Amino acid sequence: MTIAGEMVAEGEVMAEMPTDQLRDRENIVTIDHVSKSFGDKIALNDISFVIPEGQICGLLGPNGAGKTTLFRLLMGILKASSGSLHVAGLDAFEDRVAVKRLIGFLPDEPVFYSYLSARELLELSAGMHGLDVEAAMAAIMPVAQRLRLAGELDNYAEDYSRGMKKKLGLLLAMLHAPRLLVLDEPTNGLDVESTHLFYDLITETAAAGTTIVFSTHLMDHVARLCSHAVIMGEGALIASGSLGALKARYGEDDLEALFLKLTARPHAA
């Protein structure tokens, strides 16, 4: 699927709170005992946590932890084997058309129609969201200029470098001013300057009230941007909470050391 066609507790872990208490709080996302299997393979195993509105949350985990599967469930691309996911009170799968209006999603490897320019993709996406195309393009153009992409919009997106595709994917994710931005490895392929521009955009977007969840393997990104983190391993929730609470709970001031402690696998005998 092309991109155009298309966390977390305060303080301590909230996975053990009763469901009715979770939903009574002002959370944009509620993930309640979610499991997902592909045949005999368990990708997610009884995951529960919430994402309060207005937070920047880092989703951390080794490769194969289930992060991308979780994002696809949130987008309604996949259906949970059990449990429920709600975005602003809507079922992520059953109400997926409405949910996609609330979410801006940037996949790790954006894929675009080969016969459209970047400008045409943005205009198409604006139309699909029911926006005034001219107004939407005017609103997103300052972001395109900051990302050094405005001068490239009339070129075919298929011919873009990986970093340029990531920038275009971010523009498409932000185009309809979503309440929730879901970003899968957003800085992969970006140079140093573009990465710092990403920092600024994320901070400004969150300050304007958008909730942001992004996955990354770069601990400094989480330490710099996030107030909260969710740590996963082998399809299970390991820990979630504010960065300060997690560091205090596990006795680690360094986020990378904390992550390695919580996700360490036993050595084979």
130-155 pLDDT, tens digit per residue, is: 999 999 999 999 999 999 999 999 99
Q: How far apart are CA 39 and CA 221, in angstroms?
A: 35
Residue 241: pLDDT over 90: no
The band of 168, judged by pLDDT with boundaries at 50, 70 and 90, is very high
Write down the pLDDT at residue 190.
87
Which one, of 1, 23, 166, lies nearest residue 78 by Cα? 1
Q: What is the mean pLDDT of residues 217-243?
A: 90
Question: pLDDT category, 114, cuts 50, 70, 90?
Answer: confident
Three-state DSSP at 216 gives: coil
**Residue 264 pLDDT class (50, 70, 90 cuts):** confident
| Per-residue model confidence as pLDDT tens digits over 71-112 | 999 999 999 999 999 999 999 999 999 999 999 999 989 999
Confidence of residue 263 (pLDDT cuts 50, 70, 90): confident
The packing angle between helices 133-146 and 192-207, to 10°, is 130
What CA dihedral angle connects 92, 118, 144 and 99, to 10 degrees? Answer: -10
pLDDT in tens, 53-75: 998 999 998 888 999 999 999 99
Structural contact between residues 70 and 47, judged by C-beta atoms closer than 8 angstroms: yes
SS3 state of residue 160: coil
**Is residue 266 very low, low, confident or very high in pLDDT (cuts 50, 70, 90)?**
low
Query: Is the confidence at residue 240, as pLDDT, over 60?
Result: yes
User: How confident is the model over 169-196, as a mean pLDDT?
Assistant: 92
- Residue 217's pLDDT is 87
Structural domains of the chain sorted by starting position, each given as residue range(s) with its CATH number in brackets: 10-102+178-264 (3.40.50.300), 113-177 (no CATH)
pLDDT at residue 7 is higher than 60: no
Q: What is the pTM of this model?
A: 0.84
The Cα 235–Cα 170 span in angstroms is: 27
pLDDT score of 33 more than 80:
yes
**pLDDT average, residue stretch 163-189:** 93
CB half-sphere exposure, 183, CA atoms < 13 A? 31
Sequence-ordered alpha helix ranges (H) in the chain: 19-24, 67-74, 96-102, 118-128, 133-146, 162-174, 192-207, 219-225, 243-250, 255-263
